[in-house]
Structure 1
Amino acid sequence: IWTTIEECLNPPVIFEKDRGWFTTEPFSEPEVFDFPEGIGPVECVNVEHEEVLLIPRWVDAKRVTFKYGLGNEFIDVLRTLHKLGLDSTTPVMVKGQSVSPRDVVAACLPDPATLGDKMSGKTCAGLWVRGTGKDGQPRSTYYYHVVDNEWSMSEYGDQAVVWQTAINPIIALELLHEGTWTGVGVLGPEAFPAQPFLDKLVEYGSPWGMREQD
């Protein structure tokens, strides 16, 4: 929850080719997106995340954003924490003890990794690409990865969000170890070929999907 507060309340970064990187207000540009595999429509808002900084370095994109489907209730909670200063990491003195307000909030809430048996449903991470296809016609495609909490709990004992987050560096390390991914210096995931990574997802029993958008 500590990092969730951080990335949701930081000014989101947006990239535009003719403008470069710039920031906007938290929770800006709300839009409803219809997610696949029965998840359905969810309102998504801009959130600060590293993909916006990395993708334009290796992909010729006109505009890049990153959005979360947070829900109005959670957004209201985050805004209240911010108004009260409880998102701050600057220590304050409480009865002679120096404590960080955000540390207190995190300590009062359950560890999300322990909530798997109380959760149900699916989580989806995806990339929506809009542009021109190889045939010269407009194309809008959504690449996605869905994890069902029931599956991840039964197969790995981890809730869906934790598992989906953890599998990415695991696969990346395997590809580096095998020599499938190679390079020099500091490189983001976008600098490497995607297909070997996608194939590994299938090997782990959690395949990716692709949907053409209207």
Structure 2
Amino acid sequence: MKRNVLIIGAGGVAKVVAHKCAQHNDELGRIVIASRSVAKCQAIIDSVRAKGSPKLPAELEAHALDALDVEATKALIRETESQIVINVGSAFLNMSVLRACIETGAAYLDTAIHEEPGRVCETPPWYGNYEWKHLDECREKGVTAILGAGFDPGVVNAYAALAAQRHFDRIDSIDILDVNAGSHGKYFATNFDPEINFREFTGQVWSWQNGQWTSNAMFEVKRSDDLPVVGEQNLYLTGHDEVHSLSKNLDVSNIRFWMSFGDHYINVFTVLKNLGLLSEQPVKTAEGLEVVPLKVVKAVLPDPASLAPGYTGKTCIGDLVRGSRDGKPHEVFIYNVADHEEAFAETDSQGISYTAGVPPVAAARLIASGQWDARRMVNVEELPAEPFLELLDAMGLPTRIRDERGDRPWNQF
């Protein structure tokens, strides 16, 4: 049984992870939070204590760490006797933190695919460019590494696995629909790290169609869906992490990711992009200073964690799956609805951080119990889906299913 959790990162998602780990510290043990800013780590600990989240008298520690420094990360893992590392820092850290876990034997969890600062929207499959190069090493050393254990990627991967195992004889298409129908009241802001957010949309949009990779431009392909609770929404074809692993691990010809955007977001994004302000490549100012335009935009936008107070509305994220069962056409929508105000009341965080932060803690609990201690590198769809969804039901992210029989909890037949 693995115990003691090191959380890397101190943003909104890390705050949710810390609260949820504290709520289950009878299983997970000591909780350590580490980032470049020890003050941000301590602020999360203060929030955890103020909300009364710890189930047992809590061992909570804040540490300063440059997680790009593999030796420093290894030293902290050993010093704190952390057997599970939840990486919710920048996606630029993944390979460094993974390396530290491989060399110390700690289980590794993340919520997003690795990115290199100077590269945007690389050629698929993204996992194959970085993480999957360490498949053999993790297996040989018996190191558990669970990739993309947030909501999307993560929970939606489990939804796809559930659909394949329980609801279909053959799946023709999986459309992952991600809607935030909430309002933060700001003129313009992103719900997570602006740098990572914009990088998803400035290059090519890759989807898996007719058994091959297909490229489109951002906002080129649009659809509308009438979804539970949030109603009619416009969604746009977008490249996303889970498409890359699902296309490898499931025998499905069409896998696409769609995200909702309002007209205002699209207009502001388009202006910033056309002006070159979303470029990841450095430029020189008239004064000779070298700056990265995207980092400047990030610096002037609101911190996503600051959006939580006063954020209203709901999210709806799920998998629309089509195929056949018993020789007949079949369609299901497996989904979750989360509430921004409820997330803030529990964890001082907005709903996007909540949906991303709860699942890796559920995954950590399954590693701790041994059910997901795979001793190899896996994506979520390669693991048993039902124990994961059962924990999420109890931890604040209940799953529902809508099909020809109506709308009901996922485990009601």
Compute the TM-score of the two structures, normalised by the length of structure 2: 0.49
Secondary structure (helix, strand or coil) at the match of 1:42 reads strand
Whether 1:119 aligns to 2:315 is: no
Amino acid at match of 2:388: F
The aligned residue for residue 53 of structure 1 is 244
Matching of residues 141-152 of structure 1 within 5 Å = 141-152=332-343
The aligned residue for residue 186 of structure 1 is 377
Aligned residue pair count: 211
The aligned residue for residue 139 of structure 1 is 330
The aligned residue for residue 155 of structure 1 is 346
For 2:345 and 2:208, the matched residues in 1 are separated by 39
For 2:369 and 2:294, the matched residues in 1 are separated by 40
* Equivalent position to 1:175, from 358, 362, 366: 366
The aligned residue for residue 104 of structure 1 is 296
The aligned residue for residue 76 of structure 1 is 267
1:139-198 C-alpha deviation (Å, 9 max, x unpaired): 111111111011111111110011111122222222222211243543211111211111
For 1:130 and 1:9, the matched residues in 2 are separated by 30
| RMSD of aligned Cα (Å) | 1.7
My pick for the range that moved more, 166-175 or 51-60, is: 166-175
Secondary structure (helix, strand or coil) at the match of 2:377 reads coil
For 2:253 and 2:330, the matched residues in 1 are separated by 15
User: Larger C-alpha radius of gyration, 1 or 2?
Assistant: 2
Whether contact under 8 Å (1:145, 1:207) holds in the other structure is yes
Whether contact under 8 Å (1:152, 1:163) holds in the other structure is yes
My pick for the range that moved more, 21-30 or 114-123, is: 21-30
For 1:130 and 1:151, the matched residues in 2 are separated by 32
* Equivalent position to 1:36, from 216, 228, 239: 228
The aligned residue for residue 197 of structure 2 is 4
For 1:41 and 1:172, the matched residues in 2 are separated by 32
How far the C-alpha of 1:17 sits from its partner, in A, is 4.2
How far the C-alpha of 1:4 sits from its partner, in A, is 1.1
For structure 1, the 5+ residue unaligned runs are none
Task: State, as a whole percentage, how many aligned pairs show the same letter.
Answer: 31
Secondary structure (helix, strand or coil) at the match of 2:220 reads coil
For structure 2, the 5+ residue unaligned runs are 1-193, 407-413
Amino acid at match of 2:399: W
Whether contact under 8 Å (1:9, 1:78) holds in the other structure is no
Larger RCO of the pair (alpha carbons < 8 Å, separation 6+): 2
For 2:237 and 2:307, the matched residues in 1 are separated by 26
Whether 1:64 aligns to 2:272 is: no
Secondary structure (helix, strand or coil) at the match of 1:117 reads coil
Compute the TM-score of the two structures, normalised by the length of structure 1: 0.92
For 1:189 and 1:71, the matched residues in 2 are separated by 30
